Structure 1
Amino acid sequence: MEAGDQVDVQVRHSLARCRTIVDSDVESIWTKFRLCRSFRLIQQFEQRSPLRRRDLEEGADMTLGNHQAMAR
């Protein structure tokens, strides 16, 4: 008695003997992945941008002067 998942396959039916044509959608999958990833990065940046704006200092609180000419 054989298991139900065993199939009788003969060697003359192998794919290695002929040129197989495989129609793949690799490019479209990568394009979708890149678009989704770009959209996700934009959303993450928009969510983090208010936190970054809060850390900026006002221009009036900064001291004026040429700091490159300071003595070492």
Structure 2
Amino acid sequence: MRYFFHILDGSKFFPDGAGNNLPSLEYAKRLAEVVADELKKGGEFCRSSLVIVADENGNTVFECGAC
């Protein structure tokens, strides 16, 4: 299934237009946590970031904060 990793940083929304074909939702959750950890390294700018994982049908299936 294709999963999309959108980023919400405060009031700015950065959509993932390409997505990734991944073997499972659990894999997508782990990847979202990695992305959130990387955003944490951005310091003050990225403290309010949220990684929103959506499936290919547009359903939000997981959210992971970068704080």
TM surpasses 0.5: no
Taking CA–CA contacts closer than 8 Å with sequence separation of 6 or more, which of the two structures ends up with the larger relative contact order?
2
Structure showing the higher helix proportion among its residues? 1
Larger radius of gyration: 1
Structure showing the higher strand proportion among its residues? 2
Give TM-score, length-normalised by structure 1.
0.28
Give TM-score, length-normalised by structure 2.
0.30
